[in-house]
């Protein structure tokens, strides 16, 4: 017999009355700490402190390994070695795809001196995946695992439940949202914990549009550290605005949260290591192949002058409506495969700070990467088409709104 949501709650209440026995309860320090993290007056400041610590560790850990080790390894050793031993040399099409396309200086083709500018499969491809994204992914999933295993995540869900109800979700939605900051693929799967079809559609649509993955955050931290705060502000503002609109427009219910809040406990090193390895292993399987494939496709399109043709065709929309250079068409194509690769490519285009902010926001929201696209398709093609329709409208309106803001501020 299939029960409605309300009937399930009635059944749960009936069973609990017949089975739960109340006894003498001894209040402990651990219980007191648990209550402080759930009550809004104390829980909200603690949540901000936790998230600030999360972000600080994320940036420091990733920056330490990327700037302190991998940049030197790739730029001072790996890139020069490949430029010396790889057959073909500058001007050769295969060399340009695999190692370095070079750049023009005073009419002369000059070799790149760093992996960010070379955009070869074996240079930029490996550097982005291993040197920039991998440390960021490890940092993110390590902290996330610790928060899960200590018992803080259920408390955060309870704490934020009221806010998320404003956009048709409940506290459980914080789990796929935070997972999406690591990778959108498991986050879409985690959306299944939401009870109704309406909630799942809202959640997957918001994840696909407004939540940047850990790989993208790692690249943003590396190439636009001074403006990453503006980008995240625009994305998270859009998350709540679109969520509120979808909640009002879409039919269906948003039931209350029912969650077991376990006591705080010390994480076990073995469990943390196992969960961290499983998540990082998923990055190796999914992310790295798409980064390398993205480098190949975009380089071929550049060599065939297709990128230049598309830039000219789309120039009225890119420059006129969004206010970004027409050269951003290349990164937008790369974002179909990997958004972190696209953000890295944006850093090589000459533009103002405000154009860079708009460009990164557009790369983030205009279409999910192919791995996320396939996960959305597995959840149902009708919902996927609905999400894409919402996405197209949001990109056009939100991107144009950003340009309008810069015009009104007199900086565009």
Farthest CA pair distance, the chain: 84
pLDDT of 34 strictly over 70: yes
Nearby residues of 165 by Cβ (< 8 Å), 6 or more positions away: 254
Classify residue 151 as exposed, middle or buried by CB count within 10 Å of its CB (0-12, 13-18, 19+): middle
Between residues 62 and 206, which one has the greater pLDDT?
A: 206
Taking the C-alpha atoms of residue 156 and residue 44, their distance in angstroms, rounded to an integer, is 9
pLDDT at position 335, please?
80
Calculate mean pLDDT across residues 61-79. 87
Between residues 282 and 329, which one has the greater pLDDT?
A: 329
Tell me if residue 100 falls in helix, strand or coil: strand
**Cα→Cα distances 212→164, 270, 398, Å:** 19, 29, 16
Domain ranges of the chain: 30-409
**Cα→Cα distances 297→87, 268, 360, Å:** 21, 43, 20
pLDDT at position 1, please?
61
pLDDT of 409 strictly over 70: yes
What is the 3-class SS of 212-247, one letter each residue?
CCHHHHHHHHHHCCCCHHHHHHHHHHHHHHHHHHHH
Taking the C-alpha atoms of residue 401 and residue 256, their distance in angstroms, rounded to an integer, is 34
User: Over the stretch 383-398, which tens digit does the pLDDT of each residue have?
Assistant: 788 888 888 888 888 8
Taking the C-alpha atoms of residue 320 and residue 398, their distance in angstroms, rounded to an integer, is 14
Classify residue 281 as exposed, middle or buried by CB count within 10 Å of its CB (0-12, 13-18, 19+): exposed
pLDDT at position 274, please?
92
Closest CA to 116 of 375, 295, 377: 295
User: Over the stretch 233-284, which tens digit does the pLDDT of each residue have?
Assistant: 999 999 999 999 999 888 887 777 767 777 888 889 899 999 889 888 877 7
> Which strand (E) or helix (H) includes residue 103?
strand 103-105
Read off the pLDDT band of 15 (50, 70, 90).
confident
Read off the pLDDT band of 78 (50, 70, 90).
very high
Closest CA to 288 of 128, 66, 79, 137: 128
Closest CA to 242 of 204, 292, 289, 193: 204
pLDDT of 87 strictly over 80: yes
Q: How many CB atoms lie within 10 A of CB 259?
A: 14
User: Over the stretch 160-208, which tens digit does the pLDDT of each residue have?
Assistant: 888 888 888 888 888 888 888 877 777 887 888 788 888 888 988 898 8
Q: How many CB atoms lie within 10 A of CB 264?
A: 15
Read off the pLDDT band of 103 (50, 70, 90).
confident
pTM for the full predicted model: 0.77
Average pLDDT, the chain: 84
Lowest mean pLDDT among 115-129, 280-294, 344-358: 280-294
Taking the C-alpha atoms of residue 138 and residue 315, their distance in angstroms, rounded to an integer, is 39
User: Over the stretch 150-163, which tens digit does the pLDDT of each residue have?
Assistant: 888 888 888 888 88
């Amino acid at each position: 017999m299939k029960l409605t949501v309300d009937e399930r709650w009635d059944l749960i209440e009936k069973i609990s009355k017949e089975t739960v026995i109340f006894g003498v309860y001894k209040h402990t320090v651990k219980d007191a700490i648990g209550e402080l993290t759930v009550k809004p007056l104390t829980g909200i400041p603690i949540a901000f402190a936790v998230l600030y610590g999360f972000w600080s560790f994320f940036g420091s850990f990733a920056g330490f390994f990327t700037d302190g080790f991998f940049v030197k390894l790739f730029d001072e050793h790996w890139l020069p070695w490949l430029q010396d031993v790889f057959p073909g040399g500058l001007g050769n099409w295969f060399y340009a795809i695999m190692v370095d396309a070079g750049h023009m200086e005073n009419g002369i083709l000059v070799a790149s001196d760093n992996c960010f500018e070379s955009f070869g499969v074996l240079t930029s491809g490996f550097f982005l995946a291993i040197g920039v994204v991998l440390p960021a992914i490890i940092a993110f999933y390590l902290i996330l695992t610790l928060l899960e295993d200590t018992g803080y995540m259920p408390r955060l869900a309870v704490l934020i439940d009221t806010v998320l109800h404003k956009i048709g979700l409940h506290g459980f939605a914080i789990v796929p949202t935070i997972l999406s900051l690591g990778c959108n693929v498991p986050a879409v799967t985690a959306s299944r914990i939401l009870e109704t079809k309406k909630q799942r559609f809202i959640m997957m649509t918001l994840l696909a549009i407004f939540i940047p993955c850990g790989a993208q955050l790692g690249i943003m931290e590396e190439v636009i550290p001074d403006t990453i705060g503006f980008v995240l502000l625009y994305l998270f503002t859009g998350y709540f605005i679109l969520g509120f609109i979808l909640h009002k427009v879409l039919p269906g219910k948003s039931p209350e949260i029912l969650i077991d809040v376990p006591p705080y406990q010390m994480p076990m090193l073995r469990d943390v290591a196992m969960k961290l390895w499983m998540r990082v292993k998923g990055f190796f399987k999914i992310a790295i192949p798409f980064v390398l494939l993205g480098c190949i496709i975009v380089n071929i399109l550049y060599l065939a002058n297709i990128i230049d043709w598309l830039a000219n065709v789309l120039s009225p929309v890119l420059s006129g409506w969004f206010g970004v250079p027409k050269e951003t068409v290349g990164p937008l194509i790369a974002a179909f495969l990997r958004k972190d690769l696209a953000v890295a490519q944006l850093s090589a285009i000459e533009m103002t700070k405000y154009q860079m902010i708009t460009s990164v926001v557009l790369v983030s929201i205009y279409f999910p990467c192919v791995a996320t696209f396939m996960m959305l398709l597995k959840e149902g093609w009708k919902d996927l088409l609905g999400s894409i329709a919402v996405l197209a409208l949001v990109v056009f309106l939100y991107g144009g709104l950003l340009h309008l803001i810069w015009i009104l501020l007199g900086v565009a």
